[in-house]
């Protein structure tokens, strides 16, 4: 008797969340327009972050928050930081599922974020920026990086960068190689560099995204940005020409010994140290690392040797030489549920002051204000910054922000096998296409 009662109670308790979730959508659809009426009531607002805790973005925003709090007593900006990106993503997705996201939260323009936007849970940022009157100040490339496929803008960019290939000119000379003109040139280049006793390409494989950049290069050059937009929905396949070319290229690089041994467990800082200590010849990295790569922070013997080149083209490329990865970092989304006059007023205040303050840090910002070159900068600092002003229309979107999570996760793990030669290109393509067809259509159906 007692056991049956206990089981019935347990079943009832277990059924409660199911019933509540089945009982229709959670309330009426909220408006995602930026206009809101009412009085500004100061309170503490929270921002769920995935940025380095001592970085320029957080430092600048904290300063601005203090200024705002001085004029609006009772206001405080609480920062909840998780700099390790994979942990952050899981935290943010779990909070989103529980509908417990704070006022502001960081996200890339991923399919998951697109689902949140479709459910009306993020404020329309294009609308907000227009109303504040600062939309024109932003770099188009910075805004476009944050847009979803349908052009909707729901995240505010707070940084900007270009990703280039930093290289050690002395190691190039020793190996007798030149800057590659095409992507295909990179394979013999790496062979010669490896033969001269250095690691050709330093990559921090532990974070997964540094290696995942490489698979995006060939398709972007061969077919433009449309390939990954179709691939992610399952409308294109890895077996198509751009995909196959990319897979073969990576396998060739791996065979040429392009990446350092044990790269898949090399951390971000270790990979950078490999380059800055002169043991690796090339390092693909963005301009957010300028303070470490282009100032006197760089080890002294590298000052004269460091240079950079942008993503090489291919013969008959669909995209131009001035089109490559130019991300505007992880964007800030505004929770529609907790949006009120205070949040709007704070954002208007913050976004008007942010670009200039951030430029003082020396890093490229999301608006067209030129960053202040620090005193410790090497000549190459300004050269790299200048690249940001001459970008083409098309941007290479990193694949980890485009693919559905299951395919992306599989791709990241199997890329290591491909490069290490543990799996053939043909098997890799078959596996990835299988993963894609079983996950992509379901994820993107609406």
Partner 1 sequence: MLPSRSRLSVVLFLAPPLLLFGGGVLLPIIQSLVLSFFEWDGITRLEFVGLDNYRTLLRGDPVFWTSFANQLVYLAICLLLQVGGGLLVACLLLTILRGRETLKVLYLMPAVISTPAIALLFQRIYSFDPEGLVNTILSAVGLDSLARAWLSDVTTVLAAVSVPEGWRFLGLYTVILYAALLAVPRELEEAAALDGARAWQAFTRIRFPHIMPVFITTLIMATTYALRGFDVPFLLTNGGPGQASELVTTYMYKTAFTSGHYGYASTISVFIVLECLVAVGLILLVLRRKTD
Residues 43-72 that bind partner 1 (CB under 8 A): none
**Which listed range, 38-46, 306-314, 337-345, 405-413, lies at the site for partner 1 (CB under 8 A)?**
405-413
Closer residue to partner 1, CB minimum distance, 105 or 324: 105
Q: CA angle 246-247-252, nearest 5°?
A: 95
Backbone phi, psi, residue 372, to 5°: -80, 120
**Which listed range, 7-15, 178-186, 348-356, 366-374, lies at the site for partner 1 (CB under 8 A)?**
7-15
Closer residue to partner 1, CB minimum distance, 247 or 266: 266
Site string for partner 1, 173-212 (x = CB under 8 A): --------------------------------x--x----
Residues 69-98 that bind partner 1 (CB under 8 A): 86, 89-90, 93-94, 96-97
CA distance readout (Å), 354 to 61, 87, 143, 205, 299? 7, 27, 16, 33, 32
Listed residue (425, 424, 367) closest to 129, CA to CA: 367
Closer residue to partner 1, CB minimum distance, 322 or 409: 409
Applying CB under 8 A, among 307, 349, 417, 425 the residue interacting with partner 1 is 417
Applying CB under 8 A, among 46, 80, 83, 112 the residue interacting with partner 1 is 112
Listed residue (315, 327, 334, 95) closest to 185, CA to CA: 315
CA distance readout (Å), 331 to 142, 252, 287, 290? 10, 35, 17, 20
**Which listed range, 63-71, 163-171, 313-321, 403-411, lies at the site for partner 1 (CB under 8 A)?**
403-411
Q: CA angle 17-18-23, nearest 5°?
A: 100
What distance lies between CA 34 and its chain's CA centroid?
25
Site for partner 1 contains 412 (CB under 8 A): yes
Report yes or no: 154 and 377 within 8 Å, Cβ to Cβ: no
> With CB under 8 A, what is the number of residues at the site for partner 1?
46
In whole angstroms, how close is the CB of 381 to partner 1 at the nearest point?
Answer: 28
Site for partner 1 contains 405 (CB under 8 A): yes
Q: What distance in Å separates the CA atoms of residue 93 and residue 89, rounded to the nearest whole number?
A: 6
Q: What distance in Å separates the CA atoms of residue 426 and residue 407, rounded to the nearest whole number?
A: 17
Applying CB under 8 A, among 101, 274, 282, 391 the residue interacting with partner 1 is 274
Listed residue (219, 169, 216, 173) closest to 196, CA to CA: 173
Closer residue to partner 1, CB minimum distance, 262 or 341: 262
In whole angstroms, how close is the CB of 432 to partner 1 at the nearest point?
Answer: 12
Residues 231-270 that bind partner 1 (CB under 8 A): 260-267, 270
Applying CB under 8 A, among 422, 424, 426, 441 the residue interacting with partner 1 is 422
In whole angstroms, how close is the CB of 415 to partner 1 at the nearest point?
Answer: 9
Please list the residues that pair with 79 across neighbouring strands: 47
Q: What distance in Å separates the CA atoms of residue 201 and residue 297, rounded to the nearest whole number?
A: 21
**Which listed range, 249-257, 288-296, 361-369, 402-410, lies at the site for partner 1 (CB under 8 A)?**
402-410
Residue with tokens 């006793």: 197
**Which listed range, 3-11, 46-54, 290-298, 353-361, lies at the site for partner 1 (CB under 8 A)?**
3-11
Phi-psi region of 330 (alpha: psi -120 to 50; beta: other; left: phi over 0): beta
* Count of CB atoms situated within 10 Å of the CB of 323: 23
Residue with tokens 């491909």: 418
The residues of the shown chain that bind partner 1, judged by CB under 8 A, are: 6, 10-11, 13-15, 17-18, 21-22, 86, 89-90, 93-94, 96-97, 112, 115-116, 119, 205, 208, 260-267, 270, 274, 404-406, 409, 412-414, 416-417, 420, 422-423, 439
């Amino acid at each position: 008797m007692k056991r049956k009662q206990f089981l019935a109670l347990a079943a009832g308790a277990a059924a409660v969340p199911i019933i509540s979730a089945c009982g229709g959508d959670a309330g009426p659809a909220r408006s995602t327009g930026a206009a809101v009426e009412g009085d500004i009531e100061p309170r503490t607002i929270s921002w769920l972050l995935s940025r380095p805790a001592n970085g320029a973005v957080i430092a600048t925003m904290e300063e601005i928050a203090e200024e705002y709090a001085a004029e609006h007593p009772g206001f405080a900006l609480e920062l909840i930081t998780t700099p390790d990106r994979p942990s952050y993503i899981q935290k943010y997705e779990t909070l989103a599922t529980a509908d417990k996201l704070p006022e502001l939260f960081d996200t890339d323009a991923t399919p998951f974020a697109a689902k949140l936007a479709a459910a009306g849970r993020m404020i329309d940022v294009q609308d907000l920026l227009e109303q504040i009157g600062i939309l024109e100040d932003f770099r188009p490339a910075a805004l476009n990086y944050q847009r979803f496929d349908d052009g909707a803008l729901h995240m505010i960019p707070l940084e900007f960068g270009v990703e280039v290939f930093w290289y050690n000119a002395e190691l190039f000379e020793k190996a007798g190689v030149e800057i590659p003109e095409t992507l295909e040139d990179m394979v013999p280049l790496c062979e010669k560099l490896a033969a001269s006793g250095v690691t050709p390409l330093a990559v921090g494989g532990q974070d997964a995204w540094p290696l995942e950049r490489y698979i995006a290069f060939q398709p972007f050059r061969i077919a433009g940005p449309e390939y990954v937009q179709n691939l992610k929905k399952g409308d294109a396949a890895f077996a198509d020409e751009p995909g196959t070319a990319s897979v073969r290229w990576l396998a060739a690089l791996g065979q040429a010994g392009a990446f350092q041994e044990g790269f898949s467990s090399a951390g971000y800082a270790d990979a950078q140290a490999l380059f800055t200590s002169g043991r690796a010849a090339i390092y693909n990295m963005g301009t957010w690392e300028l303070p470490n790569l282009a100032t006197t922070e760089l080890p002294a013997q590298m000052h004269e040797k460091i240079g950079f080149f942008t993503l090489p083209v291919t013969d008959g490329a669909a995209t131009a030489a001035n089109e490559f990865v130019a991300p505007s970092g992880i964007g800030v989304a505004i929770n529609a549920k907790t949006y009120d006059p205070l949040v709007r007023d704070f954002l208007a205040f913050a976004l008007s002051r942010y670009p200039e303050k951030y430029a003082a840090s020396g890093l490229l910002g999301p608006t067209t204000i030129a960053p202040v070159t620090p005193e410790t900068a090497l000549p190459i600092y300004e050269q790299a910054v200048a690249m940001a002003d001459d970008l083409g229309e098309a941007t290479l979107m990193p694949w980890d922000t485009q693919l559905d999570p299951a395919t992306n996760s599989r791709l990241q793990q199997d890329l290591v096998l491909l490069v290490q030669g543990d799996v053939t290109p043909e098997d890799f393509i078959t596996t990835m296409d299988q993963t894609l067809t079983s996950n992509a259509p379901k994820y993107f159906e609406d």
